[in-house]
C-alpha cells in the first residue's frame, strides 16, 4: 500500500513538474512573441517616422523649387513703361552711375532719346531733339518722367517719378563718358533702376 502511494505521489510530482515546465515554456513563448511583436511595432513605427520625414522633406523641396521658379519668372518678366509727367514733384533720392555713350548712335535711356558726338573739343548732345554743346564738367538734365515697373505682364512692382542729370567727363575711344545721377521720388533698388539703362551705355554704380 505504501509502495502504491509512493508511486502515485511520484507520478503526481512528475506530472506537476511536466505541467510546470509546460506552463513555463508557454509563458516563455508568450514573452518571446510579445517581444517580437513589440520589435515589429517599433520597426513599423520607425518606418512610418522615416516616411513622414521623407514626405516632409519632399514637400519642403517642392515648395522651395516652386518659390525659385516664381522668383525667376518674376525677374525675367520685369518690364518698365515710361510716361511724361508734370515737372516739379519732389525727387529726394539719387543713385549715381558712370556711363559711356557710343558716339553717333541714338540710345534710348529712361524714355529719352540721347545722341552724342564730339566735335572740336566739344560734345554735341541731343536729348529728344534738343541739341546743346557741352565741355567737360558741364551737364544736361532730362525731362521729368514717371516709370511704372511691372512683372508677370501686369502686376505693378513699383512706380516712381524720375529725371536724369548727366555731367560730361570727357571722350575716349569714340565713347563719351558721363556721371549720370538718376534722381527719383522713391527709393528704387539698383536692379529696377537698370531697367531704365540700356546695356549700350555700360552703366556702373559710383
pLDDT band at 23 (very low <50, low <70, confident <90, very high): confident
pLDDT of the residue at 102: 96
**pLDDT per residue as tens digits for the range 127-183:** 999 999 999 999 999 999 999 999 998 899 999 999 999 999 999 999 999 999 999
**pLDDT score, position 132:** 95
Q: Among 48-62, 88-102, 140-154, which is the least confidently predicted range?
A: 48-62
Angle at 129 (CA atoms; ends 106, 200), nearest 5 degrees? 20
Distances (CA, A) of 37 to 12, 48, 59, 63: 37, 16, 32, 38
Q: How far apart are CA 202 and CA 199, in angstroms?
A: 5
Per-residue pLDDT, 20: 76
What's the whole-number average pLDDT of the chain?
89
Selection from 182, 188, 95 nearest residue 145 by Cα: 182
Domain ranges of the chain: 1-76, 79-205
Q: What pLDDT is recorded for position 143? A: 92
Burial of 96 (C-beta count, 10 Å sphere; 0-12/13-18/19+): middle
Helix, strand, coil abundance in the chain, percent, nearest 5: 40, 40, 20
Amino acid at each position: 500500500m505504501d509502495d502504491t502511494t509512493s508511486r502515485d505521489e511520484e507520478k503526481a510530482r512528475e506530472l506537476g513538474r511536466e505541467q510546470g515546465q509546460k506552463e513555463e515554456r508557454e509563458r516563455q513563448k508568450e514573452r518571446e512573441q510579445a517581444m517580437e511583436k513589440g520589435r515589429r511595432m517599433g520597426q513599423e513605427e520607425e518606418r512610418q517616422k522615416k516616411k513622414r520625414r521623407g514626405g516632409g522633406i519632399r514637400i519642403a523641396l517642392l515648395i522651395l523649387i516652386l518659390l525659385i521658379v516664381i522668383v525667376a519668372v518674376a525677374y525675367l518678366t520685369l518690364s518698365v513703361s515710361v510716361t511724361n509727367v508734370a515737372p516739379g514733384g519732389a525727387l529726394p533720392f539719387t543713385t549715381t552711375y558712370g556711363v559711356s555713350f557710343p558716339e553717333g548712335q541714338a540710345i534710348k535711356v529712361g524714355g529719352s532719346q540721347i545722341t552724342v558726338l564730339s566735335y572740336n573739343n566739344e560734345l554735341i548732345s541731343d536729348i529728344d531733339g534738343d541739341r546743346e554743346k557741352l565741355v567737360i564738367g558741364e551737364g544736361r538734365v532730362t525731362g521729368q518722367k514717371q516709370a511704372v515697373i511691372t512683372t508677370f505682364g501686369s502686376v505693378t512692382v513699383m512706380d516712381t517719378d524720375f529725371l536724369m542729370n548727366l555731367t560730361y567727363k570727357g571722350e575716349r575711344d569714340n565713347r563719351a563718358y558721363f556721371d549720370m545721377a538718376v534722381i527719383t521720388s522713391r527709393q528704387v533698388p539698383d536692379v529696377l533702376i537698370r531697367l531704365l539703362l540700356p546695356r549700350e551705355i555700360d552703366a556702373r554704380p559710383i
